[in-house]
Structure 1
């Protein structure tokens, strides 16, 4: 990690200001330069032009595990978006090289904000469902895809409704509307019994909040009138409303992924960590406040919906340990991304024209300046599965 910090410090001179300018322009363009908002209109045919490739039906035994649940259904942001943003008018996309650098035999970009697979792909595999979890807006979605689960996630969204508006992506509210359409499609394709089975025994995973803190609150300063505590409360209130809606829609096994130590991801180190690119304590303070509030919210939701299981999967401490002790997990670099300088490149700033790829991605915890590598995701999912999901599906 010392080598990485030294490399970053040398690059900081003359580049830091430009990097801050670039990310600000990127976010402003997403907020103002896209002519049509990504409001869901109630038809999945919006994905007809998307360049997403869904997986074929899986082998009978995925990862050697017995199938324990009928489906995995996912909501959230870029951490779990397998390509829904390909189908909407936004610049927050990852369907171009070098994204997909290690994805499949043909190393193709799919819209996943990663060099390869993302957490929900690994979770689907661990659950015995399939190797890849497809985007709901994929143009060639099959009945099998619907019955074994999809992702409604949209990179750039958040619990705060303003976050999705600023990035012109699919809001959490619209993801719930997509879920209503999904239920109707499952019922039409396989009947009420199949839908009831998915609602009762499927796993419903939710991952959001990082973009609220990193983009809406700090970079865009769009909630500048809020203190750290009041903004965390706003996020928790919107997250609770979303989860209440999901439970009211019939979901009975819900896994909520906690906020990560967002102040320690490479881009936030660059923007808020000073010349030494330290972790941003302000970012992490809000993340911890949200996690504390979500713990209380989950207890309240379980009391309101006694027939449901709702679990907060706390990844904050584990991921922070990966960041500060990368060598303990098989990484050399945890303060820079593999793409470009590693300090600011994400989405359109991480591209095959201006951004070279590091020599050995296996040594990096982060693929771009915001999203972990496939290797890091696999390690994180192993932790989540063993410590939380096994209990949820027991």
Structure 2
């Protein structure tokens, strides 16, 4: 069963992430030299790919050494050896890292002006195998701050929201059919539609075939959202194909290292860390290393910049 779980995790974990951008008024104020002008807040929803420390220190996991060994030099609740997706997106937007929801009452209130992360590792669109708030609950936390900490529409129109749905719902489904592969196969495709439908509803505030079904269904839903919403723009950060491009890179992508032994994580089952963390794409078999995420954002930078540019 462990081998099946690892296989499905590798197939499904990095399927979908999206960016939701502010309204058209802000977009029109942007210019070609500074496409990120006016985007001064980042709100984050989702799972361990974007969680910068919301999980509890008592749960260990990302709060246990050697997580955080590269940055900040100790465990910080990030599921990696260092910076993750949220860090690199904030850097790309040229804003300070948004504070985590768990620490919102413990920081200087000026820190809140850069947005907030509601993401919790292990969570999904629905309840999963961890006891942390799912996507709907995270959005409810955000809505409770509107009119108090954040003022719509001004704060929202100058913001970017990062939504990461990276496969925990599907892992939870697999766990529900531990000895019933036929039942799992029958439940899988209807569950894809259920997850995507709920993901589509929230922003309104396997096998290769199965992976393609998830991607195709998600693309159609994002297209539908863009058609229905005149004041928001939705775009997909395609982790899946970006990861594959990096895996298959033999030197043809400028500035991207050629990672060796992609399937071997830097952090071994015995707790030992590889000698050269920059040579490993995966940190723990599921989550990228800091160097892995850095490469992902080098590949994605053009697409994210293009999505932020004013439309003709």
TM-score band w.r.t. shorter chain: 0.7 to 0.9
More displaced 10-residue stretch of structure 1: 108-117 or 234-243:
234-243
My pick for the range that moved more, 295-304 or 358-367, is 295-304
Residue equivalent to 1:146:
112
Conservation of the 8 A alpha-carbon contact between 1:326 and 1:334: no
What does residue range 122-271 of structure 1 map to in structure 2 within 5 Å? 122-130=88-96, 132-138=97-103, 140-159=106-125, 161-163=126-128, 166-187=129-150, 192=151, 195-213=152-170, 215-221=171-177, 224=184, 226-244=186-204, 248=205
1:333 aligns with one of 253, 261, 280 = 261
Q: Which residue of 34, 48, 51 maps to 1:78?
A: 48
Answer yes or no: is the 8 Å Cα contact 1:158–1:211 preserved in 2.
Answer: yes
Residues 322 and 219 of structure 1, relative CA distance in 2, 3 Å threshold: farther
Aligned equivalents of 1:178 and 1:393: distance in 2?
30
Partner Cα distance (2:239, 2:286) in 1: 16
Q: Decide whether the 8 Å contact of 1:68 with 1:128 is kept in 2.
A: no
2-structure distance, mates of 1:22, 1:224: 12
Give the conservation status (yes or no) of the 8 Å contact 1:92–1:167. no
Q: What is the deviation of 1:170?
A: 1.4
Q: 1:390 offset after TM fit, Å?
A: 3.5
Q: Distance in 2 between matches of 1:182 and 1:378?
A: 32
| 1:30 alignment counterpart | none
Partner of 1:263: none
Alpha-carbon offset, residue 210 of structure 1: 1.5
How far does the alpha carbon of each residue in 1:204-255 deviate from its partner, in whole angstroms, 9 at most, with x for none?
1101131122x213344388374432221111111112122xxx3xxxxxxx
1:286 aligned to 2:210?
yes
Measure how far apart 1:142 and its partner are: 2.8
Q: Which runs of 5+ in 2 are unaligned?
A: 7-33
Query: How far has the Cα of 1:387 moved from its partner?
Result: 1.0
Change (3 A) 1:198 1:108: same
Provide the C-alpha distance between the structure 2 equivalents of 1:377 and 1:86, rounded to a whole number of angstroms.
23
Show the 5 A alignment for 1:334-349.
334-341=262-269
For 1:373 and 1:128, locate their aligned partners in 2 and report how far apart those are by CA, in whole Å.
Answer: 22
1:302 aligned partner: 226
Q: CA deviation at 1:176?
A: 0.7
Aligned to 2:271: 355
User: Contact 1:76 / 1:207 at 8 angstroms: preserved in 2?
Assistant: yes
Offset from partner CA, 1:340-391 (integer Å, 9 cap, x none): 14xxxxxxxxxxxx41111111110001111001111111122223113442
Using the TM superposition, name which of 203-212 and 300-309 deviates more.
300-309
- SS at structure 1 position matched to 2:268: coil
C-alpha separation in 2, matches of 1:299 and 1:21 = 33
Q: What TM-score, normalized to structure 1?
A: 0.63
1:306-325 matches, within 5 Å, as 306-325=230-249
Name the CA distance, whole Å, in 2 between partners of 1:65 and 1:291.
Answer: 28
Aligned pair count? 274
Question: What SS does structure 1 have at the residue aligned with 2:184?
Answer: coil
Task: Give distance in 2, aligned partners of 1:22 and 1:294.
Answer: 23
> Alpha-carbon deviation of 1:283?
4.4
Q: Which has the higher contact order (CA 8 A, sep 6+)?
A: 2
Q: 2:221 & 2:118 partners in 1: Cα distance?
A: 23
Q: How far apart are the structure 1 equivalents of 2:159 and 2:303?
A: 18
Conserved? CA contact 2:246–2:295, under 8 Å: no
Return 5+ residue gaps in structure 1 as ranges: 1-16, 24-63, 249-281, 342-353
Output the CA distance in 2 between the equivalents of 1:294 and 1:148: 29
